[in-house]
Structure 1
C-alpha cells in the first residue's frame, strides 16, 4: 500500500481555516475520478469561504460533526450535517459559499473529476441522508456507489464508491471491494491497519486495482473511523488549477478571466453575508499549466 501523507493548507478567504490535504500530490493526482481530498477538524474554528467558482467537477461534502451552510448559484440553500451527503455538480461553471454554523467542525471535502463526455452537463445540487448499516465488527454509511450490499441512489458519471466506516474496538473486518477499482483509505481517528499497513491519522492509503477485499484492523480499545473512496481508473488527463478542472491551459485561462469579469457562466450566490462577496482568482503561473496524470 502506498501512503499519501497530508500537508497543511489554508482554506481560502480572509479568515482562513487550516485543512489537511492528501490529494492531489505531485506523484499521484487521482484515485478513480477522485481528484481532491481535504480533511479538517475537529476544531472550534470557523469555516467562512466566500463565493468561489468551480468547473469540470463534482464537490462532495461529508461531515463527522458540526454544520456548514451551503449556498450556490443555482439558488440551493442547505445545511450540511453529519451523515448527509451534499453533492454539487459544476458543469461548465457554478459558484458557492460555505460557512460553518455549529461546531466542532470535523469532516472532509472531496472533488470528483467529470469525464469529458459529461463535463458540460447541467449544474446540479443533491442532498441525501446515508443510512448506516451494520457489518460484523463495523458500521458503514455508503454515500456514493455500492459497498457490502449497500447502495447510494445518487448519480455519478464514472464508477465510484465513497463510504464512512467505523470499526468496533479491537475488530478485524474483511471488507469485499470491487477488483476493478483502485481505492484510497483516509484514517480519521484510531489506530488502524489496512492491508497489513498501519496508517497515521490523516494518512491516505492507496491500493491499486486487483484487490477483491480489504482487511481492516482496529488495534485500539476505542472505535476507529475511516473514509473509503475508490473508482475505476480515470483514463483522461486533466488540468487542475485553483478551483477549476479543465483540459487545456487556454481553457483554464478562459475560466479565470470569466470569473474575474463576473460572467454569467458561474452565476451569483444570493444571501451570503461574509466580509468579502467573492474570492478573487489568484494570479496565473508564469508557465503553461500542464496536465496531471493519475500517477507518475
Structure 2
C-alpha cells in the first residue's frame, strides 16, 4: 500500500519473462530522505510480475522508538490493489473512500484503487518495532476502472507438517481466504519450525514466489537471503520450502496465473500506455476528483507531489509466452 517514493522512478514495462531463480532486493527510501529503508524485489528487469503481483517491498524489523517510522503522506494509485501485511507494529491507514483503519500483524488490509484513490499510512505511537511487507496487485483491463474499495480479513493459523500457515488471499493446503480478488491469487504467511521441510501441493497453472522474511530457508533446494524472492514457474504441482536452521523461519508465499496483459507501471500508477500515465499524473497534480482527498492526515506534507515524467515515451512490451 506504500507509495513508490523513489526520486527518479524508472519506467517499468511489466511483462512475464523466462527468468527462473532468485530475485535479490534493492534498498530504497520510503517516504523521503529521512525515511526508513525498504527492500524491493518486484518489479525488476529480470521479472516484473508473479501472477498479478507487480510490486513487493519488505521492511524491518526497524526499531522506530529513536528513529523515523513510517509516515507516507497522501498519494495516489490507479489500476491496482494494495496488500498490507505486518509481522510487528501498527500502521494507521486513511483513504479517500473514507476508510480509517489500523493495520495490525496477521491481519490483511486490501485496498482497491480501481479508477483512482489516494491514501496515507503512518506507523502508530504504540509501535516500537515496524516489520512487514507491502504488496501491489495489478487489476485486469476489464476491472481497472472499478470503484474504490477496502477489505479486512484475519486468517486463522493452521498447522501443516512442522509449520504454521495463514492464507490471506486465495487457497493453499485446504485453507481459503474469502476476500475477493479480480484474478486468481495466492498470498500466505508460512512459519516453519527449526529443521522443518514442507512440500505443498500447488496449482500448476500458477507462477509462485517465496519471499524470505527471516531464517535459513531454501526453496526447491536453493538457499535464500533475507528479502530474496524465489521464483517457480508454471507447470510445477508442488512447492518445497525447507528451514535449514536451528531457529524458526518465516516466508511469504505469492502466486497466480501468468498475467496476460501488457502494463506500464510508473510511480504509483498502473496503466496500459504512456497517455494513461500522463493523464493520471496531470490529474493528481490538478487535484482532480478521480483521486478524492484524505481526511485526518496530520503530517507536515499534506500531499506527495508527482515526480516529473521521463523525457521519453513509456511503452509496454508484449508478454512472452502468454
Give TM-score scaled by structure 1 length.
0.98
- Are positions 1:95 and 2:118 aligned together? yes
- Are positions 1:20 and 2:20 aligned together? no
The question of whether the paired residues in 2 share the 8 Å contact of 1:13 and 1:48 is answered with no
Alignment equivalent of 1:56, drawn from 79, 84, 94: 79
What's the offset of the Cα at 1:295? 7.0
Which whole-Å CA distance do the structure 1 matches of 2:51 and 2:113 have between them?
Answer: 19
Which whole-Å CA distance do the structure 2 matches of 1:293 and 1:58 have between them?
Answer: 22
Which whole-Å CA distance do the structure 2 matches of 1:75 and 1:100 have between them?
Answer: 19
Alignment equivalent of 2:300, drawn from 264, 268, 275: 275
What's the offset of the Cα at 1:14? 5.8
Q: Could you say what secondary structure the match of 2:283 adopts? A: helix
Which whole-Å CA distance do the structure 2 matches of 1:144 and 1:227 have between them?
Answer: 11
- 1:192-207 aligned at under 5 Å gives the runs 192-207=217-232
Unaligned runs of 5+ in 2: 1-19
Task: Specify which structure has the higher proportion of strand.
Answer: 1
Aligned to 1:131: 156
Structure 1's 13 and 7: CA in aligned 2 closer, same or farther, altered over 3 A? same
Which whole-Å CA distance do the structure 1 matches of 2:247 and 2:107 have between them?
Answer: 24
Aligned to 2:14: none
- 1:170-249 aligned at under 5 Å gives the runs 170-249=195-274
Which whole-Å CA distance do the structure 1 matches of 2:118 and 2:59 have between them?
Answer: 22
Aligned to 1:169: 194
- The Cα offsets for residues 50-94 of structure 1, whole Å up to 9 and x where unpaired, read as 000000000000000000000000110000000100000001100
Alignment equivalent of 1:75, drawn from 82, 98, 105: 98
What's the offset of the Cα at 1:17? 1.8
Which whole-Å CA distance do the structure 2 matches of 1:12 and 1:293 have between them?
Answer: 32
Which whole-Å CA distance do the structure 1 matches of 2:220 and 2:142 have between them?
Answer: 35
- The Cα offsets for residues 155-193 of structure 1, whole Å up to 9 and x where unpaired, read as 000010000000111111111111010000000100011
Runs of 4+ off more than 6 Å: none
Which whole-Å CA distance do the structure 1 matches of 2:122 and 2:319 have between them?
Answer: 32
Which whole-Å CA distance do the structure 2 matches of 1:15 and 1:54 have between them?
Answer: 23
- Are positions 1:11 and 2:30 aligned together? yes
- The Cα offsets for residues 228-255 of structure 1, whole Å up to 9 and x where unpaired, read as 0000100101000000000010110000
Structure 1's 224 and 294: CA in aligned 2 closer, same or farther, altered over 3 A? farther
Which whole-Å CA distance do the structure 1 matches of 2:155 and 2:173 have between them?
Answer: 14
Q: Could you say what secondary structure the match of 2:90 adopts? A: strand
Alignment equivalent of 1:120, drawn from 125, 145, 157: 145
The question of whether the paired residues in 2 share the 8 Å contact of 1:29 and 1:295 is answered with no
Q: Could you say what secondary structure the match of 1:206 adopts? A: strand
- Are positions 1:85 and 2:85 aligned together? no
Which whole-Å CA distance do the structure 1 matches of 2:175 and 2:241 have between them?
Answer: 18
The question of whether the paired residues in 2 share the 8 Å contact of 1:71 and 1:97 is answered with yes
Q: CA RMSD in A?
A: 1.2
What's the offset of the Cα at 1:28? 1.0
- The Cα offsets for residues 209-244 of structure 1, whole Å up to 9 and x where unpaired, read as 011111111111111000000001001010000000
The question of whether the paired residues in 2 share the 8 Å contact of 1:27 and 1:295 is answered with no
The question of whether the paired residues in 1 share the 8 Å contact of 2:31 and 2:70 is answered with no
Aligned to 1:38: 57
Give TM-score scaled by structure 2 length.
0.90
Unaligned runs of 5+ in 1: none
Q: Could you say what secondary structure the match of 1:117 adopts? A: helix
